């Protein structure tokens, strides 16, 4: 199971990336993350919604209520252009972190 801190730190890029693939709502986002992480990342409504609403306030995503005949009303979220730019920025930062970690982990220990 991935630690709570790491899960919390990665919430923003993960949500933005999922929404970049297509509009979605809370339940689906949680399921998608669980599926992609093989159940290693466990989100709850209590963790997800504060972030979703913050991103909406920052203008990175937008929302609108959608209702079809068969289902309950659902609030779908979509990524904005600002959100896409923020996602690019996040991607660069995470890539940098990954490369630092990779280079550290691939170094062979030196012997005297």
Comparison of 30 and 60: residue with beta carbon closer to another protein: 30
Contact 102, 95 (CB under 8 A): no
Contacts of 104 (CB under 8 A, 6+ apart): none
**The tokens 């991935």 sit on which residue?**
2
**Using CA atoms, how far apart are residues 87 and 76, in angstroms rounded to an integer?**
19
Q: Contacting another protein (CB under 8 A), which of 69, 72, 81, 105?
A: 72
Point out which span in 9-17, 24-32, 81-89, 92-100 binds another protein (CB under 8 A): 24-32
Q: Is 57 in the site for another protein (CB under 8 A)?
A: no
**Does residue number 45 form part of the binding site for another protein (CB under 8 A)?**
yes
For the CA atoms of the chain, what is the radius of gyration?
A: 17
SS3 42: coil
Tell me the window of 3-11, 13-21, 66-74, 88-96 that interacts with another protein (CB under 8 A): 66-74
Q: Is 44 in the site for another protein (CB under 8 A)?
A: yes
Which pair of structure tokens corresponds to residue 106? 């691939």
Binding stretches for another protein (CB under 8 A)? 25-27, 30, 44-46, 49-50, 72-75
């Amino acid at each position: 199971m991935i630690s709570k801190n790491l899960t919390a730190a990665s919430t923003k890029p993960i949500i933005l990336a999922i929404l970049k693939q297509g509009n979605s709502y809370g339940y689906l986002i949680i399921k998608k993350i669980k599926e992609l992480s093989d159940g290693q990342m466990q989100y709850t409504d209590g963790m997800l919604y504060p972030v979703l609403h913050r991103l909406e306030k920052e203008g990175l995503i937008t929302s609108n209520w959608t209702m079809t005949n068969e289902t309950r009303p659902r609030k779908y979220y979509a990524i904005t252009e600002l959100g896409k730019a923020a996602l690019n920025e996040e991607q660069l930062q995470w890539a940098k972190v990954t490369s630092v970690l990779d280079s550290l982990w691939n170094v062979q220990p030196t012997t005297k």
